[in-house]
Amino acid sequence: MKKNLSLLFMLACLLQMDSFLVAQGCVAIRGAGGSCGTMTHAGQPGSGWQISASYRNFKSFRHFRGKEEEENRVAEGSDVRNYTNFLDLGVTKFLNERWSISFNLPFQSTARSSLYEHDGKTRHFTSATGVGDLRITSSLWLLHPGSKGNVQLGLGIKFPTGQYDYMDYFYKNDSTRWLGPVDQSIQPGDGGTGLSGEINAFFNLNKHIGFYGNGFYLINPRNHNGVSTTRGGTASATALKYKTAVMSVADQYLARIGANVNFNRLSLGAGARVEGIPSKDLVGQSDGFRRPGYIVALEPSVSYQIGSLNIFAAVPIAMERNRVQSQSDIQRSKDTGTKVIGDAAFADYSINVGFTYLLNNHAKMPVMEMHE
């Protein structure tokens, strides 16, 4: 049977679904997003290992309430700026030609610059560096290898290995600093044990053109993690009343759809991507402080295979940013009769690069050949 096996590209897709978890801004999703796309004809080794690494960088600074940007924030210099670097390391074990299990561990180095968190007059930085939340995912291809299309389902567990009460100093005046937990958006972890579900699918129209789609949802049943949002200060009566004095543990989601054009070892892709956190979780309560919202982005990508090595890059470009109402915003709106909605800072784009490498001692490595 003829097999057009651009194997690593689709497996890179799976691992990057595991590691997508970061929105471009204060919407507090963590991890490194990566490239994703189609393969030609699916094939998976019956044994062996694959290693992967992906890096994501962005700067968030544009403030939104709903879909409306507060352009004055940048103009007057009161914008909050997050400088974010994520590195995700992944290992996949192939159990047979259809089953696999993946281990993914993110690392981050982030800095946050603001006025309001300090004395309100002078811009200062807080930062957080460390290991994020470990995820283990078991995945199954539904159809037999070698077909023009296939669907893969995954079920995973997220463990709270990342520190979720990381602390730094906040400047209150020239002589006074308060030690307190940094903002939720730069905490390495969220403090919750979660359950993830995902789907990866592709279909190849011919030897050069293919289509892909991906979906991911992380259920975080824990209500809140108990970490203060007061930056070392005392919670206000409003924060206590509307339960925003501590950090929420929120669900997270991602969806992608797109197409690839393949030229032997080179693949060029273009697609749409939406990622975010909901206002209300699927399981459990949704108390605590969170910045729910989403980003819709266009996502050009490129991938190149050299033997067992696949190198990829993608640059999601934000087309729509929406900071939706949180549960506390909704309740305050009911109590006051006036619509209340918080703000969040988003990036214009992010830069994503990475690689996967297949370690397979028992099967010959398929290459990206283009046959009918």
Q: In this structure, how many other beta carbons lie within 10 angstroms of the beta carbon of residue 337?
A: 6
Nearest by Cα to 29 from 190, 233, 202, 196:
190
Core vs surface per residue 341-365: b (16+ CB within 10 A) or e: bbbbbbbeebebbbbbbbebeeeee
Bridge-based pairing of strands 309-314 and 99-114 is unpaired
According to the model, what pLDDT value does residue 144 have?
84
According to the model, what pLDDT value does residue 46 have?
82
According to the model, what pLDDT value does residue 25 have?
58
According to the model, what pLDDT value does residue 147 have?
81
| Cβ-based neighbours of 107, under 8 Å, separated by 6 or more | 86, 87, 88, 89, 130, 131, 132
How does pLDDT run across 33-83, given as a tens digit for each residue?
443 333 333 467 888 999 999 999 999 999 999 999 999 999 999 999 999
According to the model, what pLDDT value does residue 30 have?
54
According to the model, what pLDDT value does residue 26 have?
64
Pick the CATH number of 7-359 from 2.40.33.10, 3.90.230.10, 3.40.50.1950, 2.40.128.130: 2.40.128.130
According to the model, what pLDDT value does residue 175 have?
87
Domain ranges of the chain: 7-359
Bridge-based pairing of strands 81-94 and 99-114 is antiparallel
According to the model, what pLDDT value does residue 370 have?
33
Core vs surface per residue 236-254: b (16+ CB within 10 A) or e: eeebeebbbbbbbbbbbbb
Q: In this structure, how many other beta carbons lie within 10 angstroms of the beta carbon of residue 58?
A: 25
Q: Residue 85: what residue type? A: N
Distance CA(89)–CA(261), nearest Å, equals: 27
CA distances from 325 to 280, 330, 345 (A): 10, 6, 14
How does pLDDT run across 94-128, given as a tens digit for each residue?
999 999 999 999 999 999 999 999 999 999 999 99
According to the model, what pLDDT value does residue 9 have?
42
Contact by Cβ (8 Å): 181, 221: no
Counting as low any pLDDT under 50, the low residues of the chain are 1-20, 28, 32-42, 363-372
The terminus-to-terminus CA distance of the chain in angstroms comes to 11
Phi, psi of 240 (to 5 degrees): -70, -40
Nearest by Cα to 347 from 46, 120, 84, 134:
84
- 3-state secondary structure at position 12: helix
According to the model, what pLDDT value does residue 369 have?
35
